[in-house]
Chain A
Amino acid sequence: MNAPRIHGIVLSGVGGQGVLSLAQILLEALRRSGLHALQSEIHGMSQRGGSVHAQVCYSEIPLTSPILDEGGADLLIALEPLEALRYVSMLRMDGHLVVSEEPQMDMTGYPPLDDIYAALKAVRGAHLIDTEDLARRLNHRQAGGMALLGMASRYLPIEDGVWRDVISQRFEAKGARVTDKNLEAFEAGRGLIHDPVGA
C-alpha cells in the first residue's frame, strides 16, 4: 500500500514579477480544494530585483516540511526563462514546466537567449509561452503570471470554480475590470495546454 504522495510546485522569477503573489493564489486554491498545503518563500534582500522563488507542497496527509528536495517537484512555474533553468533539477522525472519566454536581462552575464531557449526545450515536459505577445493580444501588461497559472492548472487537482473564486477574491479590491482581465489571462493560459499528460 502506498502512502498518499506529497506533491510539489516550484515558482520562480525575478523580484517584482509577482512570484509570491502567484504562490499565495495557488496555496489558497489548494486549501479550498480540501488539501493540506504549505508554502515557503524567502523575502528580504531578494525583493530588490534578485532571483525569487517560492515552493508549494500539497497532499492528502498533513504536512510539516515547507521545502522540497531536488526531484520532489511535479511542476515548475517560471516567470522568466533563466530563472526556470535554475530549478529544472527540482522536478521529478515526469514533472512539467510552464515558463515565460520573456527574459529579464537587467543583470551582468545574461547567457545568449538562444542557449536558454534550447536548454528549456530540451527538458521533457516543458511548455513555453510568449507572455509578451499574450500581454499585447489581451491588452493586459501583466497577463503573463496568470496565464502561467492557467497553464499550470491543467496539472493540478483544483476545480474551475475554485480557481475563479480565489482569483476573483484576490483582485476584488482592484475592481471588476482588473478581476476580469486576470480571469481572461488565466483562461488564455489554460487553453494553451490541450493534453496534460501525467495530470
Chain B
Amino acid sequence: MIQSTLALGVEAVGFAAFDAGIKGAFGYPGTPSTEGFEAVEQLILEARDGRAAQWAANEKVAYDLGLGMSYAGFRSLVTMKHVGLNVAMDAYANSALTGVRGGLVLLVADDPGMHSSQNEQDSRRLAEFAWLPCLEPSTVQECYDLTHRAFELSEALQVPVMLRIVTRLAHCRAALQRKEPLAPAALGLVPEASVQDWVLIPANARRRYVNLLAKQPRLMAEATPLNRLVPGPARRGVALAGMGRAYFGQLLHENPALAELPRLEIAAYPVDPALEEAFLAQVDEVVVFEEDYPVLEERLGLRGTARVRGRLDGALPRTGELAPRLLKAALGLAASAGKAAVSLDLPVRAPRFCDGCGHVDAYGALRDALASVGAPGTRVFGDIGCYTLAAQEPMAAVHAVVEMGASISMAVGAALAGQTPSVAVIGDSTFGHSGLPALLTAADSGVNVTVVILDNRVVGMTGQQPSQALDQVERMARGMGVAADQLQVLLPVPKQHDANVAALATALRHPGLSVVVFRRECIQSIRRGVLKDHDRQERERCTTEACS
C-alpha cells in the first residue's frame, strides 16, 4: 500500500485512472474538472512510459480520442465539466451503441450552485439518457475507489462508465490511500468479428440499440452492490446520493438518533427498482438529499407509496447546492447558533480583470471604435472565458454570453436580422473549441459581421493551459474563408489605443466579414512562464530554418 497523500477529489479521479493503467487521458479544461486531468497528466509526464495526456480542442474531440484509444484496446480517461458533456453528447450517446474495448471512464464535474458555470444541469440525467452507468462518489477516497471500479465495470459490461462528481467534492482536499499502480494492458484491437458493432449504419445501429437495452438488467445488477439499504425503526427515511450522502453521514456522527431513519444510499446508477421498493416498504415519508436535479426524488415519488420530500415540495430549495444546514432544516433539526452577523452593509467583491490584462485594452478600443463609427452602445455578443468579466458594470462591454462559440454564430444571426454593426468577441481557445465552424458559416453567409478574437495564447480562466490555437489564429481564420485584407492583428496595449481604434473602425465599416485579432499573452501565464519553453523553441527554429 502506498502511503496516504493529500488530494482534491477531482485529483483522486486522475490518480485512480493512472493507477488503473490507462494508456491516455484526454479533456478540455473547465472548472471544476480541470485538476483531474492535470493530476493524471503530471503522473504520465513523470512516468515517461509512452502514455498520452492530451488536452483536446473541445470535449467532443476529447471523448472521441478516448473512444479511439478504447477501440485500440487500452483504457482511457476523458475529463470535462458538465456543460462540456453537451458538446461531447453526440460522441457519448453513440458510444453507448458501439460499446468499448479498453475501459473508458468519463469524468464529469457538475457545478450545482453555478460557482463558475452558466447552468446547473445534472449529468446523471445524461447518463440515463444514453442508457449508460454512472457512479457517484461522496468522499475523496470514494473518488479514487469508484474510478477504479468504473474501469472494471466498463470492461466487464463493455460500455463507457460515467463518474459524476460535483464542485464541493471536486475541490475537497483530504487524505487519500492509493493502490499499487497497474501497467497499461493491451487488450488488442476490436476483434474482426465485432467490427460491425462499431459501424453505426442503421442496420448495425438497430441491432446495437437492442443489445444496449438488453444489457440494462446487467448494468443494474452491477450497480446494485454499490448501493445500500440500511434499515431503521423509524417510519420516516432518507434517500441519499453524492454530497447528500456525505452531509448526512456527518450529521449521523453528531446526532446518533438519526440512525433510526431507514436510509437508501445511492452511489451507482441505474438504480434497481426492487431496491427502491424494498426501501419504500419501510417508510411512510422520505426526504431525498441529492445534488442538482430531483432524480431520485422523482423516481421514488412516482411509486406513490410514501410522501416524498425534497426539492419539488419545498423541503429543500429548488436550485443551488446542498449544505449541511439545509439537511438540518429539512429534517427538523436545530440549526447551530453562532455569533451574530455583522450589521454593516458588505458590498460584493466581484472577480475582475487582472491589472495590466490585455483584454481591458481590447475592450477599450472596441468601445471607442464603435463610438467613432457612430454606433456607440452597440450590443456585442460575448463568449466564455476571462473576457466574460466585461459583461459586468461598469464595463458592460458584452451583452450576451451563452455557451462556447455562440458569439460568432449569434452575431451572424443578428446581422441576418438587420443588426449593423454586428460584433462578436471570442477568446483564442474558445475560437479553437467551437468558433471555427461558426466562422466558416459566417464567411459563407456573406453578412456584415466583425469578429474580435482576444488571443492571450492560453486558456486563461482555468489556469493558463496551452491553447490549441496557439500561434495559429490568423491561419485558422484565413482557412475558414476570411479574406486576407479583412484580417488584422493588433497589440492591445495602452499606447496603441488610437491606432487600434482606427483599425477596428475600418473593420466595423467594412460591409462584409472582418476579423480583428488582439494578441498579447495572458499576464498570469507570463508570470508563470507557461510558454517560455515553447517560445524559445520557436525562436531557435526560426534561426535555423528560413522563417518569415
Residues of A within 8 A of B (CB): 3, 6, 14-15, 23-24, 27-28, 31, 36-51, 61, 63-73, 82-83, 85-86, 88-93, 95, 106-111, 115-116, 119, 123-124
List 15 extra interface pairs beyond A46-B351, A68-B324, A111-B345, CB under 8 A. Answer: A3-B254, A31-B175, A44-B116, A44-B461, A49-B351, A64-B249, A65-B246, A67-B323, A69-B336, A71-B336, A71-B339, A83-B349, A86-B346, A109-B347, A110-B347
* Bound Cα distance from A61 to B349, whole angstroms: 36
CB contacts (< 8 Å) of A106 on chain B: these are 352
Using known A-B contacts A28-B6, A88-B341, A88-B342, determine if residue A64 contacts B347 with beta carbons closer than 8 Å: no
Total contacts A to B, CB within 8 angstroms? 161
Which of B115, B253, B345, B394 has the most chain A CB atoms closer than 10 A to its own CB?
Answer: B253
When C-beta atoms are compared, the residue in chain B nearest to A118 turns out to be B344
Chain A: minimal CB distance from B178 (Å): 15
Does B171 interact with chain A (Cβ within 8 Å)?
Answer: yes
Of the residues A6, A48, A69, A86, contact of B335 by C-beta under 8 Å:
A69
Known: A6-B250, A38-B172. A67 touches B324 (CB 8 A): yes
Q: Which of A3, A38, A43, A111 has the most CB of B within 10 A?
A: A43
Please name all residues of chain B whose beta carbon is closer than 8 Å to the beta carbon of A51 when the two chains form the complex: 348-349
Q: Given A65-B324, A95-B339, A119-B342, are A39 and B173 neighbors across the interface (CB < 8 Å)?
A: yes
Q: A39-B174, A64-B138, A69-B336 are in contact. Are A47 and B342 (CB under 8 A)?
A: no
Whether B351 and A27, one on each chain, are in contact in the complex, defined by CB atoms closer than 8 angstroms, is: no
The verdict on B468 contacting chain A, using a C-beta distance below 8 Å, is no
> Can you list 28 pairs linking A and B with CB atoms under 8 Å apart?
A3-B253, A23-B173, A28-B6, A36-B175, A39-B173, A40-B168, A45-B351, A46-B351, A47-B351, A48-B353, A64-B139, A65-B247, A65-B249, A65-B250, A66-B174, A67-B168, A70-B336, A71-B337, A88-B339, A93-B339, A95-B338, A106-B352, A107-B347, A108-B347, A111-B344, A111-B345, A111-B346, A124-B339
A15-B351, A85-B346 are contacts. A6–B254 as well, Cβ < 8 Å?
Answer: yes
CB neighbours (8 Å) of B461 from chain A are 44-45
Are B341 and A89 interface neighbours, CB within 8 A? yes
Contact with B325, one of A27, A45, A49, A69 (Cβ below 8 angstroms): A69
CA distance A43 to B323 in the complex (A): 18
**Which residues of B, 357-388, contact A by the 8 Å Cβ criterion?**
386
CB distance from B105 to the nearest CB of A (A): 23
B residues less than 8 Å from A73 (CB atoms): 338
In-complex Cβ contact of B338 among A23, A36, A93 (8 A): A93
A65–B335 Cα distance when bound, in Å, is: 16
Query: Closest residue to A106 on the B side, CB-wise?
Result: B352
In the docked arrangement, what's the CA distance between A28 and B245, Å?
Answer: 25
Supposing A42-B167, A45-B116, A49-B354 touch, asked if A14 and B349 sit within 8 A by C-beta, the answer is yes
B31 within 8 A of A: yes
- Interface flag for B389 (CB, 8 Å): yes
**Which 3 pairs from chain A and chain B are nearest by CB?**
A71-B338, A44-B116, A50-B351
Q: Is B256 located at the chain interface by the 8 A CB criterion?
A: yes
For chain B residues 240-277, which have a beta carbon within 8 Å of chain A?
245-247, 249-251, 253-254, 256
**Roughly how many angstroms separate A52 CA and B169 CA in the complex, as a whole number?**
17
Contact with A along B390-410 (1 / 0, CB 8 A): 000010000000000000000
Contact (A40, B339) CB under 8 Å given A28-B6, A48-B386: no
Proximity string of chain B (3-23) to chain A, C-beta cutoff 8 Å, 1 when within and 0 when not: 000100000000000000000
Assuming A44-B31, A47-B351, A48-B389, is B339 touching A37 (CB within 8 A)?
Answer: no
**Distance A115 CA – B342 CA, assembled complex (angstroms):** 11
With both chains docked as a complex, state the minimum distance between the C-beta of B452 and any C-beta of chain A, in angstroms: 20
Least CB distance, A199 to chain B, in whole angstroms:
18
Chain B nearest CB, measured from A69 CB (Å): 5
With the chains together, A96 CA to B245 CA distance in Å?
Answer: 30
Give the chain B neighbours of A92 by CB distance below 8 A.
336, 338-339
Return chain B residues, CB-CB under 8 Å to A45: 31, 115-116, 351, 389, 461
* B350: interface (CB < 8 Å): yes
B344 touching A48, Cβ below 8 Å: no
B408 to chain A, nearest CB (A): 23
State which residues 132-170 of B face A: CB under 8 Å.
138-140, 167-169
Bound Cα distance A159, B167 (Å):
33
Distance (whole angstroms) from the CB of A161 to the closest CB of chain B: 19
A95–B325 Cα gap in the complex (Å)?
Answer: 19
The contact of A44 among B6, B32, B342, B352, by CB within 8 Å, is B32
Enumerate chain B residues within 8 angstroms of A41, measured Cβ to Cβ. 171, 173
Nearest CB in chain B: distance from A27 CB, A: 6
**Cα–Cα distance between A106 and B346 once the two chains are bound (Å):** 14
B193 within 8 A of A: no
**Cβ–Cβ < 8 Å partners of A38 in chain B:** 140, 172-174
Q: Produce 1/0 per residue, B223-254, CB < 8 A to A.
A: 00000000000000000000001110111011
Contacts of A72 in B (CB 8 A): 324, 336, 338
Is B302 in contact with chain A by the CB < 8 A criterion? Answer: no
Q: How far is the CA of A45 from the CA of B385 in the complex (A)?
A: 9
